[in-house]
Structure 1
Amino acid sequence: MSRVQVARGPAAVPTGTLTVWQGAALYVGAVLGTGVIALPALAARAAGPASLLAWLALVLLSIPLAATFAALGARYPDGGGVSTYVRHAFGARAAAVVGWCFYFAVPAGAPAAGMFAGAYVETAVGGGRRTVVITAAVLLMLVAVTNGFGVRVTGRVQLALAVSLVVLLLAAVVSALPHARMRNLHPFAPHGWPAVGSAAALLVWSFAGWEAITHLAADFRRPARDLPRAAGLAVGVVGVLYLAVATTGVLVLGPAAGTAAAPLAELLALGVGGGVHALAAAVAVLLTLGTMNAYFAGAAKLGAALGRDGALPAWFGRGSSAGEVPRRSLAVVTGLSCLAVVATTAAAVGPRPLVLLTTGSFVTVYALGTAAALRLLPRGGLAHRSALVALIAVAVLLVMTGWYLCWPLVVTAGALCYLRRRRTAGSPAS
C-alpha cells in the first residue's frame, strides 16, 4: 500500500513532526480496539473454526479502505480529514455533515470504550459500577492531558502503547502455541458456511478506525510519503495480530474458544500464567488507551478545522494549523465525554446507548469519505480502484447498520440548521 502514488491537492506546506512509526502506532491504536478481547469468542461461537475465514476476509478488506483514506490524506493534508475531502468533492454542506458526524461521535464512543475497559477492571478488582465509572473517567483524563501537550507527545505516548500492546499480544500467541492442536479445526464449519457471514458481521467493527488519523495528516513530517507508509505498516501489524490471536484461540482452546469471556486472557494465563481476570483487565486498559488517544487527537484537530471553515463557531478554530495544539476543541470533546459518562451513570443504562450513537455516525463518515475519494483520486490508479472496492464494502455496512442511521440523520439536521443560521446572519460557511 505504501507504493500507491497520488497527486497532491492544494494544501499548505506541512510543518508537522509525526514520524512514520508514530503514525503507524496511532493507526494501530485506532483500529485495534477492545474487540480483540471478546470478539474472537463471539465469532467462534457463530461459525466455529470457519470464523477464521471471516477474520481473513476483513483483513483483506481493510487494505483498500486504509489505502483510500491514506491516499486522500496524502493528497489533502489538512486537519479537517474526511470533512476536507468531502468539501472538495461535494461542497461545504456535505463537509459540515460529515465533520459533525465524526466530531460528535467521539464524545459518545470514547466513554463507551472506557466503560468496557472498566468492566474488565471491575471483574478483576471488584467495586461494582463505581469501579467501571472511575476507570472510564481516569482514562478520559489521561488521554485529554496527553493530547493537551500536542501531537508530538501524543505520538510518542501512542508509540509506547503500541509497542507494549504488540509485545503483549505476541506473548499470548507464542506462549500458547505449544498447546495448539490441529484436531480443534474439525469440524471446520459446524454451523454451515452461511455462518461465516454472521461472524463477519460481528467482526466488522473491529476494523473501524482507518479514517481517524487523516485529521492528523498535516502533522506528519512528509504527509505524501509518510501517511501511506504508516497506514501500510498498520494494516500489516493489525492484520497479523488479529489473525494470530483468532487462529491461536481456535487451535488452543478448541470448542471453548466460543465460550470464553476473554479468550486472549485465557491464552495468556495458559501460556505465561497468572489470573485470567487481571490479565484481561491489563489488556483492556492498554487497548482502550490506544484507541481513545488516537480518536481524541483526530477529533480535536477536526473541531478546530471545522471552526476555521465555518462549520462550527470560529471560537473552535484556534489550533487548526499543523504543529498547533487545538486545546479549545479538545476541551469540548473532553467535556462532552464527561457529560456522557455522567448521563449514562445517572440513568443507569450503561454504554449501550453510546455505542448505538457512535455506530451509525462512523458508517456515515465512511460512506461519504469513500464516495469523495471516487471523485478526487486520479482515475485508473490503484488508489481509485481501492476507493471503489471500499465504497462497495461500506454500502454493505450501511445496509447492516439499519436504524442506527437515525442518529446521523439528527446530526445532519443540526449541521444544516447551523449553516443556515450562519448564512442568515451574514456569515456563510467557507
Structure 2
Amino acid sequence: MRSIGISTLRRLGNIINEAIDEMEGVYATAEMPLPSLDAPFNPADPAEALLQTTIVEGATLNIMAAASQLSATVASPVVSALHASQAYHISACLRAASEVNVVEVLREAGPAGLHANEIAALSKTDPLLLARILRLLAIHNIFREVKPNVFANNRISSVLDKGKPSKALFENRDNRLTGTSGLAALVECFADHNMKGVAMLADTMLHPKEGELGFNRAYCTTESLWDWLHRPENVYQLQRFDIGFNWSDLPAGSVLVDVGGGIGHISLAIAQKNPGLRVIVQDLEDTIKDSKIYWNENLPSHVESRMVDFQVHDFYTAQPVLNAAVFMLRHIIHDWSDELVVKILRHLRDAAQPTTKLVVIDKILVSAARVPDPGEEAIPGSIRPSAQAPLLPNWGVGKAEVYYHDVSMHCILGGVERTLEQFVEVLAKGGWKLSRCLGDESHCGNSS
C-alpha cells in the first residue's frame, strides 16, 4: 500500500472524529441531544440554536468537507462520475414532491407516515411513480421510508413545509406559495428554471448564438428571464421566483436607496432598527405596487411619516436620487455580466456625493486552490478562514451552494458569482473602490 494514501485517509478520518468530539462536547455541556435526522425540523427546539454556534458550525463544515472527500477518495471513480452525471434526478424528484404537497400531507399523517397510495390520491397522481420518487429521495436522506411504500417526513424534507393545510394547497394552487417562508418556492424554482437552463450549458458553449443563454434555449425564447416572468401566463412562476453594515452610524434623516429592492423587505428590516433612516425603494412598476402594500402592512409608521418613498426606476437609466447616504444593491450584481454591472454602477456613481457609500450584498466565490496570504495588502475583512489540509481550502461541498448559483447565474441570466478580485475589478470600472468586506457575503464600496 502507498503510505501517502493511508495517511490521507487517516487525516480525513481524524478531522471527522475531532469535529464529532467538538459537537458532542457542546451538546453534552448543554445537556441536549443533537437533533435527529429522522425527526421533523423544529426551529423552536433549543438544540437547533446550538447548531448556529461558532464551534458547531465549524465542526459541521469540517465533517461535510471531509466526509465528501473521503468518499471520493475511496469510491470507484467510474461510479462517482456516473452518480454525478445523474444528480439531476434528485432535483427533479424534489420539485415533484413539493409540487404535489407531499411534505404537508405527511406532516398531517404524523411520524407513522402514510402509504404512497394515500399520498398520491390527494394529488390524483400515480402512486407507484410517487413511491419511486420518494424512495430515491429517501436514499439521499430526504424523507424516510418507514415501511415498504410508507413514507414520513424527516429533518430535511420538513423544512419545505409551506405551513398550510394540505387541503388548502390542493384547492387553491395559484396561491399555494403565498404567505409561506419562501423556501419551498425557492427549491421549486431552482429545480425548474435553473435546472432546465443549466441542462443547456454544453449546447450553448459548443454552439453559441449571440445573446443566447441556456434559459433562452430551454424555453425557446429570446426574452430575458425577467421579461419572460412578467408574461401574463407566467404569473405563478413570477410569484414563486419572487447585513453586516452599521446602519446606526448614519445620521438621522440619511437616505438609503434600495436599488432594485423588490418589495423592500431588507430595507424595511433596516428601517425598523433605525427609524430615523429615510428609505427609497426602487424597482419596476408591478413590484413597486406590491412594495407599497408590504410596507403599509409591516411598517405603516414609516409610510405615514413619509420616511419611505417608492420609485419606479430602471437601474440602466440615470439614478434620480442625488442626496443618498447609501445605495444598496442586494443580490443584484450577480444577475448581470460585467458590462451591464458597470452600467448600473456608473449611474450610481454619477449620482453619488463624495460621502455616499455603496453597499453590495452578494456572495464571494473562493478558489478551491490554496493561495498565498496577501498580508498587509489585504482589503479589511476580505481574508476568510481556510480549511485544514487535506481538505479543500474552501471546504468543498460544505459550501457548494454558491458554486451551484454561479453556474445557474450564467445559464439563466448571463450573470456570475464573483471572486474578490472580480469584485474589485468590476467596482473599479464602475467608479467605486472596494474598501472593506463584512460578514460572509457583504461588501461595502466607498466612492472614489
Length-normalised TM-score, structure 1? 0.27
More strand by share: 2
Which structure shows the bigger proportion of residues in helix conformation?
Answer: 1
Give 1 or 2 for the bigger CA radius of gyration. Answer: 2
